[in-house]
Structure 1
């Protein structure tokens, strides 16, 4: 079992120690009257690299790249200060969504060989994440709620609790030290986008729409920065791509700068701007 030690240094930085190795957990940040942790610091080798996954996932490895870059791209990207209470991974999987990507991610982690080392009190029973406690088995999530799972990872937004730091430290260390953890993140992320594109194609009539338009819609929905009505209005404009990329300005200006930059980079590389979505294939096909 991994024993976590941690310390608060330099006023607002938490550092952890597992197996004798010291590492950065996250910075203490205030947000809307509360406090939480944030970790968006890392090296290039700790970031998602689309080239590493093209042989397995093809075009989809590139399709998620702009969103990954906008979300931090680090496999240990961490945020515990906003309404989601706990987001983690290179695509920032959010723990507040029932049956969402974070729930799927934790379930995948619990099937890895190192699961009992990091979270010996968690397991999967009847398809649900449960905690083995002194009082018995506690179901942490359902089709309608992840409240107990949130309590397990981050008891509140009011303050940074020891529990929050320890659970964050485990996930950061695991992601940094186990390739299987990182592979799980990527597989879940790509499968999530593939599944969601089927849904978006039906909702927004995206059959035959270019890859760039589909990508921005997927990013909008991933972040949750606009309603379907706003997306549909943008699609009906004279320049749908520009209209979609303007959604969220000026509040999310920095994210949109990253998104535009990475989309343009993929266009210049001849990767984007070459495909359209096919509802029949449930995939992208050549123009």
Structure 2
């Protein structure tokens, strides 16, 4: 039976009431201004400093919790997880991605991207009827059931319909946006299998980005600490392959890679440097093997 969520507003802070009983925090209304266009947008965030932060800190991704299942890869993705907020329930709905979620900040605006692939798998879990009874996967695509028909919400070219379902506008915070966030937060918080699925998809993303980096940059034999930075840059999208190639050829490639994109994203680069400070030695013990398609 579907769980019912009611929106609770307290100024710019939003919570949800579950089945007319318990209330839990979702996030705060924030304003985002595009530095290039000056356009202002509004949405939800539960990052550090906002209303949901205390709850988000209870749901942190820690490599040690998943080492038995995923081995070295659980450590490989941890620096990026830290840079992305580290929380399984991290949320923002105010930028061009329209809806991003999880410790890897999976973004809903990319066709066949990390959010879409992850959400398809979530919708095939047994708890789906509790949270999204009107969504399902048919023919490998997310569809919405309405008026006796199935409406395709995403395809190879666009996720616009799904974006609008999750977040109707960027002009303000709508109830539909709060409820979509509430469903994902509640689902993730109450079902460890949902958190494991997030880990699996983040590792899948990391593997794909390292393989892609190897094809473009020749990472065979490169230590995992350097590959970790390459992966983070590509996941974040702050630089292209030409910049990465120059950094890899530098006298000190580790420092050079950490500085890639620092002009526009200084805080992200600083956070990655901090995250790697105590993790680099462990990562550097392994190297990427093209033949194995893995770190050895």
**What range is the shorter-chain TM-score in?**
over 0.9
After superposition, the C-alpha distances for 1:48-83 in whole angstroms (9 at most, x for unaligned) are 011111111111000000000000111100010111
Match of 1:76 in 2: 89
SS at match of 1:238: coil
Alignment partner, residue 34 of structure 1: 41
| CA spacing shift, 1:43–1:30, aligned 2, 3 Å | closer
Q: SS where residue 28 of structure 2 aligns? A: strand
The 3-state SS of whatever aligns with 2:183 is: helix
Q: Which moved more, 1:71-80 or 1:156-165?
A: 156-165
Q: Distance in 2 between matches of 1:43 and 1:132?
A: 32
Mapped contact 2:42–2:172 kept (Cα < 8 A): yes
Q: CA deviation at 1:221?
A: 0.6
CA drift at 1:246: 0.8
Scaled by the length of structure 1, the TM-score of the pair is 0.95
> 1:109 & 1:264 partners in 2: Cα distance?
34
Q: Aligned ranges for residues 76-95 of structure 1 at < 5 Å?
A: 76-95=89-108
Does the 8 Å CA contact 2:7/2:175 hold for their aligned counterparts?
no
Per the alignment, residue 283 of structure 1 pairs with 294
> Which secondary structure state, in structure 2, belongs to the residue aligned with residue 271 of structure 1?
helix
| 1:44 Cα deviation from its structure 2 partner | 4.5
Query: How far apart are the structure 1 equivalents of 2:99 and 2:287?
Result: 34
Once residues 263 and 12 of structure 2 are traced to their aligned partners in structure 1, the CA distance between those partners, rounded to angstroms, is: 29
The answer on whether the counterparts of 2:209 and 2:235 sit within 8 Å (CA) in structure 1 is no
Q: Does residue 46 in structure 1 map to residue 63 in structure 2?
A: no
Contact 1:112 1:180 in 2 (8 A): no
Flag structure 2 segments of 5+ consecutive residues without an equivalent. Answer: 34-39, 48-52
* Distance in 2 between residues matched to 1:68 and 1:179, nearest whole Å: 18
Structure 2 CA distance for aligned equivalents of residues 110 and 153 of structure 1: 14
How far apart are residue 135 of structure 1 and its match?
5.9
Unmatched tracts of structure 1, length 5 or more: none
Check the 8 A contact 2:153/2:162 in 1, yes or no: yes
Structure 1 pair 85–44 and aligned structure 2 pair: CA distance change class (3 A):
closer
Task: Pick the aligned partner of 2:251 from 229, 233, 238.
Answer: 238
Task: Confirm or deny that 1:204 pairs with 2:211.
Answer: no
The structural deviation recorded for 1:255 is 2.1
Q: Which residue in 2 is equivalent to 1:126?
A: 139
Shift of 1:43: 5.4
Matched-pair contact (CA < 8 Å) for 1:47–1:74: yes
What is the CA distance between 1:248 and its match in structure 2?
2.4
Q: Which moved more, 1:113-122 or 1:249-258?
A: 249-258
Which of residues 265, 268, 271 is equivalent to 2:282?
A: 271
Equivalent position of 1:17 in the other structure: 17
Structure 1 pair 44–36 and aligned structure 2 pair: CA distance change class (3 A): closer
Q: Provide the rounded CA distance (Å) in 1 between the counterparts of 2:168 and 2:216.
A: 36
Q: Is the 8 A contact 1:85 1:96 kept in 2?
A: yes
In the aligned structure 2, how far is the partner of 1:123 from the partner of 1:43?
A: 27
Counterpart secondary structure, 1:30 = strand
Which of 155, 165, 174 lines up with 1:161 in the alignment? Answer: 174
1:151 to 158, 164, 177: 164
Cα distance in 1 between the residues matched to 2:57 and 2:282: 22
TM score, norm. by length of structure 2:
0.92
State the partner residue of 2:121.
Answer: 108
